[in-house]
Amino acid sequence: DAGVIQSPRHEVTEMGQEVTLRCKPISGHNSLFWYRQTMMRGLELLIYFNNNVPIDDSGMPEDRFSAKMPNASFSTLKIQPSEPRDSAVYFCASQPSRTGELFFGEGSRLTVL
Amino acid sequence: DQQVKQNSPSLSVQEGRISILNCDYTNSMFDYFLWYKKYPAEGPTFLISISSIKDKNEDGRFTVFLNKSAKHLSLHIVPSQPGDSAVYFCAASDGGGADGLTFGKGTHLIIQP
């Protein structure tokens, strides 16, 4: 079975550019989470969806960040405009029900110059 | 304010010996605890979990201990093997994982031959 699929794996962009990260959760999983990993703060929860509906976006750092889940098999995390401090690894994870473990993708490493 | 703390950024253990990774938490509402393992350039993968109604859970070489009064949990790996070298994240939730997981910053375990 395919796991959580994220793209791109690596993204290098210049400050001010728009960045879109994509995620395909495991089929049948009802919840989807976006995390950001940095050396300073570790793994931070940015936003999560349940049945495609955003439940809590309190972890989104600024209005420059937005996330959508138009259907059960696709989600995007957009940063516009991007800044160097957004450089991090962004993980998407899905969960089969409202409880239990999360299954993570391999991450998207973003570098903003 | 870190609600889940892993105070040892790294730990070095000889192959065959016991590895003990520690984790402290501050939120008394947490009722579900997990350990994740992460290799470089990969996403975190679930290792073992424990509910607050238990104080021990064992799975092969991995055992997690929970001390609720001390708000402390630990992961024991015995015997340690070279493939165990990775970053280990402690995670916690107050709803069985329904609202995502709060992660510690991780401990880099290095198994020496």
| CA proximity to B9, closest of B75, B86, B107 | B107
Chain B, residues 28-47, CB within 8 A of chain A, namely 32, 34, 36, 41-46
Of the pLDDT bands very low, low, confident and very high (cuts 50, 70, 90), residue B1 is: confident
Task: Name which of A42, A99, A106 is nearest B106 (Cβ-Cβ).
Answer: A42
Q: Which residues of B touch A106 (CB under 8 A)?
A: 41-43
Chain A CB within 8 Å of residue B67 CB: no
**Mutation for testing the A interface, residue in B36, B101, B102, B107 having most A CBs under 10 Å:** B101
Please report the pLDDT score of residue A1 as a whole number.
63
Alpha carbon distance B105, B66 (integer Å): 19
- Judge whether B103 and B6 are in contact, CB under 8 Å: no
Q: Which two tokens stand for residue A14?
A: 């210049």
- Answer for the pair B76, B58: CB distance below 8 angstroms, yes or no: no
**Among the partner residues B41, B46, B99, nearest to A56 by beta-carbon distance:** B99
CA distance linking residue A110 with residue A72, whole number of Å: 25
Quote the pLDDT of residue B55.
Answer: 96
The predicted-structure confidence for B41-60, as pLDDT tens digits, reads as follows 999 999 999 999 999 999 99
Q: Which residue has the tokens 């605890």?
A: B33
Cα B97 to the center of its chain, rounded Å = 15
pLDDT of residue A49: 95
Tens digits of per-residue pLDDT, B68-107? 999 999 999 999 999 999 999 999 998 777 788 999 999 9
The whole-chain average pLDDT of chain A stands at: 94
Instruction: Check if B99 contacts A (Cβ < 8 Å).
Output: yes
- According to the model, what pLDDT value does residue B107 have? 96
B1 Cβ under 8 Å from any chain A Cβ: no
Quick one: pLDDT band at residue A15, thresholds 50, 70, 90? very high
**pLDDT value at B14 more than 90:** yes
Alpha-carbon Rg of chain B, whole angstroms? 13
Residue of B nearest to A6 (CA): B43
A36-74: pLDDT as tens digits: 999 888 999 999 999 999 999 999 988 999 999 999 999
Alpha-carbon torsion, ordered A38, A43, A49, A50, to 10 deg: 170
Instruction: Write the DSSP symbol of residue A26.
Output: P
